[in-house]
Amino acid sequence: MTARPRCTHRSILWQFGVTLAGLSLLLSACAGAVTPTPLPTPPPPPVPTQAPPTSIPPAPGPTAVPLAAQPMLPPAQEGGPSVVAIYNTWIYGGPGETYVIYGAFLGGNTAQVDGKSEDSAWWAVSVPAAPGGIGWVDGAWVSASNVDAVPVLPTPPVPPTTDMVPPGPGDPQAAALVNASVRSGPAETYPAYGVAPAGAVGRVIGKSEDGAWWAVRIDPTLVGAGFGWIAGSTVQATNTEEVPIIAAPPAPEIAEPAAPPEGAPTATAVDYVNVRSGPGSCYVPYVIAPPGASGEITGVTEDGAWWQVKLPTEVAASGVGWVSADYVTTSNADGVPVVASEPCENADVPAPEALECVLVEQSPLDYTVQETGADFDMEWTVVNTGSDSWTSNVAQFVRAGQTGELHADEDSFAVDDDVQPGESLTVSAPATAPDVAGTYGELWEINANGSVVCQFWMIINVK
């Protein structure tokens, strides 16, 4: 016997104001316009190819952050390798202007140098709060001392660009002031989906409980939940006074792979990175490796986009997991074998439309593996992010992929209670995994007063 569909709803609390935490402090140096401060000595470097920055942007968000709260750069040891800023400039996540920006490096300030780029054009400086403990400054904007013996550091991969869904006129929105990470949760310890480049504008659908992060819409075909998180200190937010609080996903389990033997092919994380059960974002993560964690490489996909690494068998029964090449550096990896693997399959289900709602919880997660013929419940929790109540509600099955349906009961059922703005609704329906292996999906929606107000989907792998 299968359970009847069921729905519940609960109130979502509201909170105003933005506080800054963690790595977001690095950007708090952007609190007000600052005129560049050329130094009398030493002489400036060669003339850059662009005009020096004339100001540091103001701190974003409702609460200004004092200019005194600057990136925490440890002082250089006397006689040790160091740089001094000739002009106001930025500290980047890698040796280039397409990387995430960690914070401001103001004219006259000094920093300890830990390394240099392969072309010697950028300096790696000590930034303890940054992933991996270092940031990068352009050599054209600083003067370096005692750096002859610093090592050449590997160039971290340029993270992929995350395209936020643009807002409509008057929508809550956030404009990136600098290149900023869009993460899977409201903290620096959640893995990143990619980078929102400076100037990108996204539709805001909620905020974190502490007000320090905004939830922004992302194409659900790229990110199943349809949204990610961006630090409030990196954006200018408008029309966000009434967006609801969205609960954070479960805190990630952070673990390091076994240390690789000396000389072995090695992958080293440059940020918090998912170690997955297969080579694709559709595969379920086993654990999250922190910045600086290294694992022994045992294989690579044919396209070079994913590395297979050893894991303890208590973490993965197979003894291996997969990490994206976008978030690791590698060494001694030229001869590793290509491993045959199954790519993420398309469930042939239309993506949920961007409506006045947001999916905040789902069980099982997309691309979870179910055994053939297994019974399970599909459950989604969504929040009404609009300004109108949902009344006379009906949960409605819309469409399945060509491979077949999942739900095992009615195609539609009534939702008894009204859902006020900011409140959540949990929808549950019994399902059965088909008898044939493959990737399956279904699109569902909520109809209120005859109009579609929310859509969400479920995608599973059957083996």
pLDDT tens sequence across 9-54: 433 323 323 232 333 334 333 333 333 333 333 333 333 333 333 3
Question: Is there a single domain that holds both residue 135 and residue 186?
Answer: no
| pLDDT band at 164; cut points 50, 70, 90 | very high
DSSP reduced 3-state for 169? coil
pLDDT digits (tens, 9 = 90+) for 391-415: 888 898 998 887 789 999 899 998 8
Q: Pick from 386, 406, 401, 402: which is nearest to 448 by CA? A: 386
Query: Structural domain tally of the chain?
Result: 4
**What whole-number distance in Å separates Cα of residue 27 and Cα of residue 59?**
8
Buried b (16+ CB within 10 A) or exposed e, 88-105: bbbbbbbbeeebbbbbbb
> CB–CB of 357/384 below 8 Å?
yes
* pLDDT at residue 230 is higher than 90: yes
**pLDDT at residue number 142:** 95
What DSSP letter does each residue of 409-427 carry, written as one string? S-SEEEE-S-B-TT-EEEE
Q: Residue holding tokens 């390798």?
A: 81
Highest mean pLDDT out of 41-50, 172-181, 243-252: 172-181
Position 196 in a domain: yes
pLDDT digits (tens, 9 = 90+) for 263-318: 999 999 999 999 998 898 878 888 999 999 999 999 999 999 999 999 998 888 88
Position 158 in a domain: no
Question: Is there a single domain that holds both residue 36 and residue 136?
Answer: yes
> CB–CB of 185/249 below 8 Å?
yes
**pLDDT at residue number 71:** 54
Residue 321 is part of which domain span? 266-331
Q: Domain of 124: which CATH number?
A: 2.30.30.40
Highest mean pLDDT out of 120-124, 188-192, 274-278: 120-124
Q: Which residues pair with 451 in a beta bridge?
A: 448
* pLDDT at residue 107 is higher than 50: yes
- Which residue, 289, 305, 331, sits at the end of a domain? 331
Question: Is there a single domain that holds both residue 37 and residue 103?
Answer: yes
Question: Is there a single domain that holds both residue 288 and residue 318?
Answer: yes
Position 375 in a domain: yes
> What is the tally of helices (H) and strands (E) in the chain?
0, 30
Question: Is there a single domain that holds both residue 426 and residue 451?
Answer: yes
Q: What's the whole-number mean pLDDT along residues 84-102?
A: 92
Position 260 in a domain: no
Position 243 in a domain: no
Q: What's the whole-number mean pLDDT along residues 371-394?
A: 90
Q: What's the whole-number mean pLDDT along residues 371-382?
A: 92
Question: Is there a single domain that holds both residue 287 and residue 223?
Answer: no
Position 159 in a domain: no
pLDDT: which is higher, 22 or 185:
185
Position 253 in a domain: no
Question: Is there a single domain that holds both residue 131 and residue 177?
Answer: no
Cα-based distances in Å from 46 to 49, 82, 100: 9, 18, 25
**pLDDT at residue number 229:** 96
Position 271 in a domain: yes
Question: Is there a single domain that holds both residue 367 and residue 318?
Answer: no
Q: Domain of 416: which CATH number?
A: 2.60.40.10
**pLDDT at residue number 204:** 93
| pLDDT band at 7; cut points 50, 70, 90 | very low
